Amino acid sequence: MTPERPDLLLIGRKDVEALLEGNEANILERVADAYVAHDAGRSAVPHSLFLRFPERPRDRIIALPAWLGTPFDTAGVKWIASFPGNLAQGEERASAVVILNTMHTGRPQAVLEGSVISAWRTAASAALAARCLRTDPRCASLGFIGCGLINATVARFLRAVVEGVGGVVVYDLDPARAAHFVQVCEKLLPGAGVRCAGSAAEVLRETSLVSIATTAAEPHIASFDGVDPNALVLHLSLRDLEPSLILGARNVVDDEDHVCRARTSLELASERVGHRRFIDATLGGILRGAPSPPEDGVRPIVFSPFGLGALDIAVSQWVLERARATRRGVACPGFFEGSWAQIPTPGLSNPT
């Protein structure tokens, strides 16, 4: 039987946000299932392609293709631009689209606004790490370095996995962004007590669970002096920590091969010592039952997720399913109509 060929569906940001709203628990488990499938070998995740501009070294556009097998059976690609200069103009740093392909014919079946999906999958992976790598679900102090969309979404997800947040400390190079982020956290974590710090080092010293999501292109944090030896550092932006800190930590990643690329702190660390044995575990392996690095009272845990395209397509598929069920999005009928094989060619008989 010939598979149905549905219209291409366009799902914009407002629809994506509406469909995701209130579904943190569902997305958390969706991302966990994607990690498990990837760790079990039921995925194909080529290396991300970085499009860089010689005259604009801070800007980049990245393509992240992926396929996920059971229980997803879906493929697609995220095309995400990061232009940090946008922030000074009052615009979002990142913009993205996700294209999902059907595995029946390979045809694209949906184009989704991807920056929100990217933020949600990143925040879900951070929350999963917090749930898996901390022995005590209570969190006396929570820190954020970088006050943008990613960390705002992380704060939203951490509500589901930590208890008893007694204080929140935030820092951003831009004081106005930090002040706005304080207001965001006060709404997301009422009663927690939120304040701005004067430096990233202050955040690290005063909190036991820290999320770092900045636009840093090279390491700028050089010391863990005064940091709780049992702290968990969610190193989401990957290039903030000096290699010596990585080498002195207990390290968990999403994929060892992916994360040691593109001049991340972990790639710099591996170049320094000539190996990757400082990586203790993968989050997917822990979700499948492998042990997490034990507390040793000396070294904090650093979770460094490269951000696999498999997570984007897993969340995008979830959004697409609900968009179809609730009739959201804009259909593009006839987008793929027509076929070379169906065009009459003089002197040739067309196949029937």
Q: Render 78-146 in DSSP notation, one character per residue.
A: EEEEE-GGGGGGTS-SEEEEEEEE-TTT--EEEEEE-HHHHHHHHHHHHHHHHHHH-S-SB-S-EEEES
Q: Which residue has the tokens 């060929």?
A: 5
Average pLDDT of the segment spanning 98-122: 96
DSSP code at position 264: -
CA atoms within 13 A on the CB side of 109: 22
| pLDDT confidence band for 349 (50 / 70 / 90) | low
How does pLDDT run across 177-199, given as a tens digit for each residue?
Answer: 999 999 999 999 998 999 999 99
Give, for 142, the enclosing helix (H) or strand (E): strand 142-145
Cβ(207)–Cβ(142) under 8 Å? yes
Q: What distance in Å separates the CA atoms of residue 110 and residue 311, rounded to the nearest whole number?
A: 16
Q: What distance in Å separates the CA atoms of residue 62 and residue 82, rounded to the nearest whole number?
A: 8
Give, for 35, the enclosing helix (H) or strand (E): helix 24-39
Q: What is the pLDDT of residue 2?
A: 38
Higher pLDDT, 210 or 84: 210
* Structure tokens that stand for 5 in this block: 């060929």
Q: What is the pLDDT of residue 341?
A: 64
Q: What is the pLDDT of residue 88?
A: 84
Cβ(155)–Cβ(189) under 8 Å? yes
Q: What is the pLDDT of residue 165?
A: 83
Q: Which residue has the tokens 């999902």?
A: 100
In terms of Cα–Cα distance, which of 248, 250, 246 is closest to 264?
246
Higher pLDDT, 226 or 90: 226
Q: Which residue has the tokens 């598929």?
A: 317
| pLDDT confidence band for 118 (50 / 70 / 90) | very high
pTM score:
0.90
Q: What is the pLDDT of residue 201?
A: 97
* Structure tokens that stand for 299 in this block: 């070294």
Q: How many CB atoms lie within 10 A of CB 325?
A: 9
Higher pLDDT, 137 or 13: 13
Q: What is the pLDDT of residue 343?
A: 62
Q: What distance in Å separates the CA atoms of residue 52 and residue 60, rounded to the nearest whole number?
A: 5
Is the previous residue joined to 54 through a cis bond, with omega within 30 degrees of 0? no
Tell me: pLDDT of 96 over 90.
Answer: yes
What residues contact residue 79 under an 8 Å CB cut-off, 6+ apart? Answer: 61, 62, 63, 96, 97, 98, 99, 114
Q: What is the pLDDT of residue 337?
A: 79
**Picking from 118-132, 286-300, 319-333, which range would have the lowest pLDDT averaged per residue?**
286-300
Can you list the domains of the chain with their CATH numbers? 8-117+309-337 (3.30.1780.10), 135-304 (3.40.50.720)
Q: Which residue has the tokens 């194909």?
A: 44
Cβ(59)–Cβ(311) under 8 Å? no
Q: What is the pLDDT of residue 291?
A: 93
